[in-house]
Structure 1
Amino acid sequence: MANKTDFILPKMGESITEGTILNWLIQEGETFSEGDILVEVGTDKVDNEVPAPFDGMMVKHLASDGDVVEIGKPVAQLEASNGKPESEVTATDDHQEIKKPAGLEDLEKEKNVSSNTVEHISMKKGAESNKQNGSSGSQERVGTGNSKSVSSSYVNQDLFVSPLVDKIARENHISYEELARIPATGNEGRLRKSDVIQYLNDGRPNQFAQSVSNEPDPTAYRIPQLKFDKGTGKIIKMDRMRSMIADHMVYSVHTSPHVTAYVEADVTDLVNWRNKNKGPFQEKHGERLTFTPLFVDAVARAIKEFPNINASVDGKNIIVKENINVGMATALPSGNLIVPVVKNADQKSLPEIAADVNRMANLARENKLGGDDIKGGTFTISNVGTFGSLMGTPIINQPEAAILATGIIKKRAEVMTKDGVDSIEIRSMMMLSLSFDHRIVDGFLGGSFLRKVADYLEQARG
C-alpha cells in the first residue's frame, strides 16, 4: 500500500526562516517523478524551486499561493508510489502553523476618542485584564492580558501582522505603535518575522519614540506633504525583488550614516599584467580572468590589514567578522541586482577566486543562483565601471559596514615624476569610492582601508 506523508518546506539558507508559496507546479491529483519541481518558493533572498524527493502523487496542498510558511512546516501531502519510507520527508500533523498574512482587520476606530485614549479590541477577559494592568496610555503593550490595544492616533490599517509576528511581539512586549515603525520588507508592506528579529537585534531603536499626538510639537521635523505632478505614462508595477531592493536601500540609508571617500588608482601595471596573462591563465586554469577576481583579491588582502572594516553593528556592540566573504553586486536579466558571495576570499588563490566569480556570474545570468551563493557576505564590491560610470556613491549592503565601488578604467595623460624629472605618460586610471557606516567606521579607518585597496591594485603582480 502506498505511503502518505507530509512534505515539509526544506531549509533554503542559513538565515532564511520562512518562505512564500509562489506557484504550485504539481496540482492535486497529479503524479510526479523524483526530482520534478513541485513548488516555487520565494524568500527574502532568492526564489527557489523545490524538487520532489520520490515518485508519487500530489494528494493535497496544505498551503496556497501567497501563504507564508515557516521552514520545517508541511506544505503538501504526498503519496509515494513505490512505498518509500517516510524518513525521506518528515511527517507532522502541525498544519495549523501555515497561515495567510493577516492585517489588523479587527481594529476599528471609535468615534470621538481623543488621541491619548487607547482603543481596546477585546478578546476573552480583555477588559478585565486591562483593568488589572492599569493600562490607559498610548503605549499599551501587546501581550498584556488577552487584549490587543493600539493608540487610536496611530492605527495603520496598511500594516500587515501575521499570527507569527503577533506572537513574537507579545513575547517581547512590543506595542502595535512600535510595531508599525519597524521597516517592513514583506510583499505589499507586510511585516515579516525576519523584520522583527532584525529590529530586536538592532536594540529596538524605536522603543522610546514619541507617540503621535494631535497637539503639534513645534520642535519636531515633519515630512512636508507636497503634491508633486508625477506626470503620466506607462505604469510598471515593481516585481517582488525590486520591491525588496527598494525597501533594503531605504532601510540602509535610514539606519547607517553614510560617508563616502574617494581615491584614484593608477592601474596601468595591473591592466598590462592582465592583458599579458589572461590567455595563459585560461589555458592553465580553465577560467576567464576578468577584473572582478583581481578586485576581490585586493579587497580581501586589505581587510586582513584593517579587520574592523569587516564588521556589523549589533545594538551597542560591534561584531568584527571572523570570515572574509566578499560579495559582488551582479545584474540579473530582469535588471535587478543580486549579490553573490565569494566565501573565505582571503584563503583562496586567484584561480580559485576566478572560478567562484565566473561560476556565480553565469548562474546569475541564468537566474539560477541558490541560497548558499548569496548568504554570509561581510563586504561588498559594486563595479559601476561596467556601465561606463567614472565613480559611484554606493549604498551599504546591510548589515555590513562598508561597500566599495570601482569605476571605469580610463586612459589619460598623467604627469609622472621619476628621479626628480616630470614627464607626461599615458596611464590607465580608475576611481575607487568607499561608502562606510560612520557609526563604527571613522574617516581614518575608511580612508586608510581605501588607500590600501588602491595600493594593492597599483602593485605589479608577479
Structure 2
Amino acid sequence: MARFELKLPKMGESVAEATITSWLKEVGDSVELDEAIVEIATDKVDSEVPSEVSGKLVEILYEKDAVVAVGDTIAVIEVEGEEEVTVSNKVDNSPKEVKEVEKTIEKAAAIVATPSVKNSDSEKFYSPLVRNIAQAENISIETLNTIKGSGKDGRVTKEDILSFIENGKKSPVSEVTKSNSEASSSNTITNSATNVVPVSINEEDEVIEMSRMGKLVAKHMVNSVQTSAHVQSFIEIDVTNIVKWRNKVKDVFLKREGEKLTFTPILMHAVAATIRKYPLINISVNGDTIIKKKNINLGMAAALPDGNLIVPVIKNADQLNLVGMTKAVNDLANRARNNALKPDDIQDGTYTVTNVGSFGSITGTPIINQPQVAILALGAIRKMPSVIETPEGDFIGIRQKMMVAHSYDHRVVNGALGGMFIKTLKDILESWDINQDF
C-alpha cells in the first residue's frame, strides 16, 4: 500500500495559516476523491479541505483547534499501489508571511532542540507555531499567559504574538502577585496601553462571548479607523427609470436567464463603470506609495447566517455585462448565506459596496475595507415628493429616490475626486434608458 500526504492547501496570497476546527473523518475511515476530510478556519473564511485521492485515512497529524501553516501535512491517506503517491498540491510561491514564520522556527530550533515553552507549563493551549516564536524571542510562559488572544476561545495566534513583539514585548500585566504574603508588599498591576475602561457586571447581566468571526471583524474595523482618514460625501439619486425598467423586464429576465433580477447587480454594474472612469479610486496605499490596481474587483458585503458580514469579491467586474453581473451577485450571495464561500471568493477586492438599504436604512457611513481606499453605501429606495422641471414649468411629482454615501481615505482621495465619483454614478443611473434590453 502507498501513502499519500494531505497538505493544507494555499488559500489566497495573504493567508499563511489556518485553524483545524473539526475533523469530518476518523482514523480508519474510507475517503473518496474530493470528499471533505477536515474543516478549517482562517482569518478570512471557514472552509473544508477535500481529499485528493481515494483510500483509507491512517493518520491525523494535528488535533482539533491546532494552528497549521500552509503547506504542512495534516493527514496521511493509504491508497492502493506500491509507489508513493504524489499530487501537485505543493505550495509554490509561498506567501511572505510563511517564509518569515519558517525563518523564525529555524531560529528557534537553532537556539535549543527542545522547546522551553510547553503546553504542560500552562493551563492555556498554544500552537507549536506560537510556542516556537515565543522561544525564539525568549518570551517566558508567564509572559505568554498575559498576551490577550484574538483566536478562537481567546487563543493566542501568530498575529497576536508578533504584535506583542513589535510593541516592545510590553506585557498587559507588569507584575502579578504570587502569594498572599507578596500581595501585601507588592500588588502593582499595570493597565494595558489601550486604557480600556472596566465594565461592571451584576448578576442580572448576561455575558456573551464574541464569535471568532465577530472578533476578527471588530479588529479589522478598528484597524481601518486607525489607518485611514475617513471622509464622507453624500448624494441623492433619482432611480425612477431603473425601478420602472426592472419591473418591466424582471419576469422575462427570470424566464430567459434563470436568475432573479434585483437592484443590486444593476447598481454594481454602474459602480464598475464609474470606477473605470476614475481609476484613482481603485488603489491601495503602501507606506508613502500608491498602488494603482489593474483589475476592478468589487467587494459585495453580504450577511452570514450568524448575523456577521462577509465581503465576497466579483473579479474583473467591469468586464461583465448586466446578465453576467446578476449571475455573479446571486451566486456569491447564495453561497454566503449557505456558508459555502471558498477562500478565493473573498480575496483581492479593490473597492467595496454595501447595501445598507436592504435593512431599511436611508444611508450610512461605512468603514473602509482595508487595504482599499473607498467604500460605497447604497441606501433604501423610497418614493419621495420631488420638484420636476419641464419646459412648461416646475411641478411636484412622486419619484423613486436613493441616498448614496461614499466613504474615502482622505490621505489619498480628496473631496473633489470623492465627490466627482458619486456625481458620475448619479449621472449614469439617472440616464438609464427605460426601453433598453438587457
TM-score range, shorter chain: 0.7 to 0.9
The answer to whether 1:301 aligns with 2:266 is no
Match of 1:371 in 2: 343
Which residue in the other structure is 1:74 paired with? 73
Match of 2:179 in 1: none
Pick from 373, 391, 395 the counterpart of residue 423 of structure 1: 395
- In the alignment, which of 347, 357, 361 is matched to residue 389 of structure 1? 361
Task: Give yes or no for contact 2:363–2:405 (8 Å, CA) kept in 1.
Answer: yes
Q: Which amino acid aligns with 2:31?
A: F
Q: Deviations over 1:22-55 (max 9, x none)?
A: 1111112222222322111111111111112222
* Whole-angstrom CA distance in 2 between matches of 1:227 and 1:246: 18
Distance 1:225 1:327, change over 3 A: closer
- 2:363 aligned counterpart, secondary structure: coil
Gaps of 5+ in 2: 92-97, 102-110, 118-122, 138-143, 176-192
CA spacing shift, 1:414–1:231, aligned 2, 3 Å: farther
Q: How does 1:267-306 map to 2 (within 5 A)?
A: 267-306=239-278
Q: Indicate how the Cα distance of structure 1 residues 20 and 226 shifts in structure 2: closer, same or farther if over 3 A, else same.
A: closer
| Cα distance change, pair 3–414 in 1 and its aligned pair in 2 (3 A) | same
User: CA offsets per residue over residues 207-261 of structure 1, 9 Å max, x none?
Assistant: 9x9x9999xxxxxx97474555688344332222122112111211222221121
For the 8 Å contact 2:152–2:212, the answer to whether it is kept is: yes
Distance in 2, matches of 1:198 and 1:453, equals: 40
Answer whether contact 1:270 1:459 (CA < 8 A) is retained.
no
1:8 aligns with 2:16: no
Instruction: Give the AA of the match of 1:64.
Output: E
Structure 1 residues 440, 158: closer, same or farther in 2, change over 3 A?
farther
- Structure with the largest fraction of helix: 2
For residue 152 of structure 2, what is the aligned residue in structure 1? 187
Can you give the 5+ residue segments of structure 1 that lack an aligned partner in the other structure? 93-97, 102-122, 125-146, 149-156, 172-178, 215-220
SS at match of 1:276: helix
* 1:312 pairs with 2:277: no
Q: Which amino acid aligns with 1:28?
A: V
Could you tell me which amino acid in structure 2 is paired with residue 75 of structure 1? I
Specify the code of the residue in structure 2 equivalent to 1:252: S
Tell me the CA shift for residue 376 of structure 1. Answer: 1.2
Contact 1:382–1:405, Cα closer than 8 Å, also in 2: yes
1:7–1:77 Cα contact (<8 Å) kept: yes
Structure 1 residues 261 and 67, CA gap change in structure 2 (3 angstroms)? same
Secondary structure in structure 1 of the residue aligned to 2:86: helix
Partners of 2:148 and 2:235 in 1: how far apart? Answer: 34
The 5 A counterparts of 1:441-452 are 441-452=413-424
CA contact (8 A) 2:32 2:53 kept: yes
User: For 1:87-136, what per-residue CA distance to the aligned partner results, in whole angstroms no more than 9, with x for missing partners?
Assistant: 127699xxxxx9xx9xxxxxxxxxxxxxxxxxxxxx77xxxxxxxxxxxx
TM-score (norm 2): 0.77
Give the direction of change, closer, same or farther, for the CA distance of 1:293–1:197 in structure 2 (3 Å limit).
Answer: farther
Q: Find 1:330's aligned residue among 296, 302, 305.
A: 302
The answer to whether residue 317 in structure 2 is matched with residue 352 in structure 1 is no
Q: Aligned ranges for residues 18-97 of structure 1 at < 5 Å? A: 18-81=17-80, 85-88=84-87
Contact conserved, 2:296 with 2:350, CA < 8 A, in 1?
yes
RMSD of equivalent CA atoms: 3.9
- Give 3-state SS (helix, strand or coil) of 1:405's partner: strand
Q: Post-superposition shift, 1:374?
A: 1.4
**SS in structure 1 of the partner of residue 397 of structure 2:** strand
Which of 313, 319, 327 lines up with 1:341 in the alignment? 313
Aligned AA (1:239): S
The structural deviation recorded for 1:400 is 0.8
Q: Residues of 1 paired with 2:424 and 2:132: CA distance?
A: 48
Query: What's the CA shift for 1:264?
Result: 0.7
Percent identity over the alignment is 43
Q: Does 1:432 align with 2:397?
A: no
Number of residue equivalences: 387
Q: Cα offset for 1:65?
A: 1.0
Contact 2:300-2:311 at 8 Å conserved across structures: yes
Alignment-mate amino acid for residue 353 of structure 2: I
Could you tell me whether the CA contact under 8 Å between 1:432 and 1:454 is conserved in 2? no
* Larger deviation, residues 410-419 vs 32-41: 32-41
Q: Displacement of 1:280 after TM fit? A: 2.1
2:66–2:127 Cα contact (<8 Å) kept:
no
| 1:199-238 superposed matches below 5 A | 223=195, 225=197, 227-228=199-200, 232-238=204-210
Q: Deviations over 1:115-159 (max 9, x none)?
A: xxxxxxxx77xxxxxxxxxxxxxxxxxxxxxx99xxxxxxxx999
Residues 23, 292 of structure 1: CA spacing in aligned structure 2 closer, same or farther, 3 A cutoff?
same
Query: Structure 1 CA distance, aligned partners of 2:366 and 2:329?
Result: 21
Q: Flag the 1:29–1:335 CA change in 2: closer, same or farther, 3 A.
A: same
Once residues 313 and 90 of structure 2 are traced to their aligned partners in structure 1, the CA distance between those partners, rounded to angstroms, is: 34
Q: CA deviation at 1:427?
A: 0.3
SS of match in other structure, 1:88: coil
AA at the equivalent of 2:59? K
| Distance in 2 between residues matched to 1:224 and 1:53, nearest whole Å | 48
Change (3 A) 1:426 1:285: same
Q: Residues 409-432 of structure 1: CA distance to partner in whole angstroms, max 9, x if unpaired? A: 000211112237210000001000
Change (3 A) 1:168 1:372: farther
TM-score scaled by length of structure 1 = 0.73
Could you tell me how far 1:18 is from its partner in structure 2?
1.2
Query: Could you tell me whether the CA contact under 8 Å between 1:17 and 1:194 is conserved in 2?
Result: no
One-letter amino acid of the counterpart of residue 61, structure 2: L
Relative to structure 1, the CA distance from residue 282 to residue 91 in structure 2 (aligned partners, 3 Å threshold; closer, same or farther) is closer
Cα 1:236–1:416 change in 2 (3 A) is: same
Residue 87 of structure 1 aligns to a residue in which SS?
Answer: coil
**Aligned residue in 1 for 2:180:** none
Q: For residues 153-205 of structure 1, what are the alpha-carbon distances to aligned partners after superposition, in whole Å with 9 as ceiling and x for unaligned? A: xxxx999796469759979xxxxxxx99x9975435556556899999xxx8x
